[in-house]
Amino acid sequence: MAVVRLALTDFRNHASLFVEVQAGFVLLTGENGAGKTNILEALSLLTPGRGLRGAALSEMARSDGPGGFAVAARLRDDSEIGTGTQAAAPERRQVRVNGANAAANALGERLSVLWLTPAMDRLFSESPGGRRRFLDRLVLALAPAHAHHAARYEAAARARNKLLADPEGADPAWLTALERGMAEHGAAIALARADTVAALDAHLAAAPAGPFARARIALSGWQPAAGDAQAAFTAELRSGRGRDAAAGRALAGPHRSDLAVTHAGKGQPAERCSTGEQKALLLGLVLAHADLVAERSGRAPLMLLDEVAAHLDPSRRAALFERLAAADQVWMTGTEAALFAGVGEATRLHLGG
């Protein structure tokens, strides 16, 4: 689903920005610090979660502004979605859908947003948390209920941690109820991830060899036992109470899963590939995922590619633009318009100067 209008108010360095754009390519150019990534970040808030920088909401309000910010978009189907904060509650995310207040999760039903940023260069070498968040965004685009399960799972897990830490001894009935909640939502999270990973890996395996390294993916780390995932996870939590109390957190659960990515051509784990190869793997993954989402849901994701063109040689850049030509809407940034010379028709926006 393409955005046709975007309005930012007091979002980072943009006091007030209003743009009308077409489907297809939207190219943002401008010198360093002009606010290109900030625009992509604003778009990334049109989906549940903390956006492409994973930043606190209070950091996003313009520093010499009145406090609070607003991001509003009109989509091609004429729906209006928006999010922001108010000065009085700088960490409280407000969401509006067609003029009415809504839960953040409602955004996931309207729009899928996927992004690739230079900061994600470290995705394969970092701790599993970043890869889990990446995976969950892939899942969310296919299964909007994923955000709901994640929120409920985390709430139940937090409450259980607190209860287990209580020196008075936890109320067993309450503990059982929380574990039931964790198991219900945790199993749903695990199954949705398994489904996405299997479908995406099949897509990757079947895709024609292109100019970008082919990735193969699999889940690693914690996974529910085969069979009745919910029952197995319930049992695992119950028997793990003592161990989890000592650790201060649950040692089993979907918050302990990981995504394993392999360079198919080399049969090598992504973390051992060169930076350039890792970038190409990630790009190939995101492209395959966009195809998968479009195929399954008929609702192509919005793609935000931050500084991607600058790191590709001219032939790979041309191949990238060609592959993206069929996408619904792709926002790309670059310091120079020349990087996008091969793009053809596009909405071109130059910031500053």
Ligand X SMILES: Nc1ncnc2c1ncn2[C@@H]1O[C@H](COP(=O)(O)OP(=O)(O)O)[C@@H](O)[C@H]1O
Contact residues for ligand X, defined by CB under 6 A: 12-13, 30, 32-38, 59-63
CB 12, min distance to Mg ion, A: 11
CB 3, min distance to Mg ion, A: 19
Residue 230 site contact among Mg ion, ligand X, none (CB < 5 to 8 Å, cut-off depends on kind) = none
CB 60, min distance to ligand X, A: 6
- Residue count of the chain, please give it: 353
The span from the first CA to the last CA of the chain, in angstroms, equals: 31
Residue 317 site contact among Mg ion, ligand X, none (CB < 5 to 8 Å, cut-off depends on kind) = none
Of the pair 36, 137, the CB lying nearest Mg ion is at 36
Of the pair 29, 278, the CB lying nearest Mg ion is at 29
Of the pair 43, 189, the CB lying nearest ligand X is at 43
CB 45, min distance to ligand X, A: 13
Per the structure block, which two tokens stand in for 281? 């793997």
Q: Tell me the C-alpha distance between 270 and 258, whole Å.
A: 13
Q: Which stretch binds Mg ion (CB under 5 A): 31-39, 161-169, 173-181, 207-215?
A: 31-39
Q: Which residues of 215-231 are buried (b: 16+ CB within 10 A; e: fewer)?
A: bbbebeebbbeeeebbe
Q: Assess 37 for contact with Mg ion (CB under 5 A).
A: yes
Q: Assess 29 for contact with Mg ion (CB under 5 A).
A: no
Residue 188 site contact among ligand X, Mg ion, none (CB < 5 to 8 Å, cut-off depends on kind) = none
Residue keyed to tokens 């509003």? 72
Which residues are CB-neighbours of 172 under 8 A, at least 6 positions away?
none
- Which residue, judged by CB position, is nearest to Mg ion in the bound state? 37
Q: Assess 117 for contact with Mg ion (CB under 5 A).
A: no
Of the pair 55, 202, the CB lying nearest Mg ion is at 55
Find out whether 306 and 118 touch, Cβ atoms under 8 Å: yes
CB 217, min distance to ligand X, A: 29
Residue 315 site contact among Mg ion, ligand X, none (CB < 5 to 8 Å, cut-off depends on kind) = none
User: Following DSSP, what letter does each residue of 200-232 receive, concatenated?
Assistant: HHHHHHHSPP-SSPPEEEEEEE--PPSS-HHHH
Residue keyed to tokens 């502004």? 65
Residue 308 site contact among ligand X, Mg ion, none (CB < 5 to 8 Å, cut-off depends on kind) = none
C-alpha to C-alpha distances, 297 to 1, 24, 75, 146, nearest whole angstrom: 11, 19, 17, 15
Q: Tell me the C-alpha distance between 31 and 113, whole Å.
A: 25
CB 4, min distance to Mg ion, A: 24
Q: Which stretch binds Mg ion (CB under 5 A): 33-41, 83-91, 188-196, 252-260?
A: 33-41
Residue keyed to tokens 């394969």? 124
Residue 72 forms beta bridges with which residues? 7, 82
Of the pair 13, 83, the CB lying nearest ligand X is at 13
Of the pair 35, 284, the CB lying nearest ligand X is at 35
Of the pair 38, 196, the CB lying nearest Mg ion is at 38
| Four-point Cα dihedral 320, 322, 324, 327, nearest 10 | -170
CB 342, min distance to ligand X, A: 22
Size of the site for Mg ion (CB under 5 A): 2
User: Following DSSP, what letter does each residue of 266-321 receive, concatenated?
Assistant: TTEEGGGS-HHHHHHHHHHHHHHHHHHHHHHHS-PPEEEESS-GGGS-HHHHHHHH
CB 116, min distance to Mg ion, A: 12
Of the pair 238, 348, the CB lying nearest Mg ion is at 348
- The binding site for Mg ion (CB under 5 A) comprises 36-37
